[in-house]
Structure 1
Amino acid sequence: MTLSARPKEASERVDGAEWKPRERGVLCFVVKAGKILLIEKKRGLGAGKVNGPGGRIEAGETDEQAAVRETQEEVGITPTGVEWAG
């Protein structure tokens, strides 16, 4: 029996020092009373996965504006006190 090599993970196939994103995006993790609001992505990048609301940053938008807009669109609430986390 011949065993093939384990497929490389995405992080092993991409040179992080040279990689440049094609588009910028945001995620918003809404935290209230020690609980984090998570959603199941229905389409696009991460479809079928659980994450915070988020999406692309539109032309002329700041990161914070995009995070608030995406959260409003996806879950119908307006987050306040948005903080940058990375």
Structure 2
Amino acid sequence: MAVCFILLFVDTKGGKPSLWEDRAAHIGASQVPIVVALAGKNNIVSLLTGIGHERLNILHRASSRVCLLLLWLHALTRYFNV
């Protein structure tokens, strides 16, 4: 979660919302394949690593929360920055 927000706000030159609102959408959308790959009992990550789906469920929920936060951040800055 911290890495995504660091990537979001790095090199924004003053912190204007117009500079990081689209970046929030791109980083949030890049989390979708991770969320899908970790979903389900028999997933590709579990097959490759041998880690059970119970432990990978924590990563699935964390990545989906990051995706949700970033996409809400994008939508709200778009809405109020009209």
TM-score of the pair, normalised by structure 1: 0.24
More helix by share: 2
Larger Rg: 1
Q: Which has the higher contact order (CA 8 A, sep 6+)?
A: 2
TM-score of the pair, normalised by structure 2: 0.25
More strand by share: 1
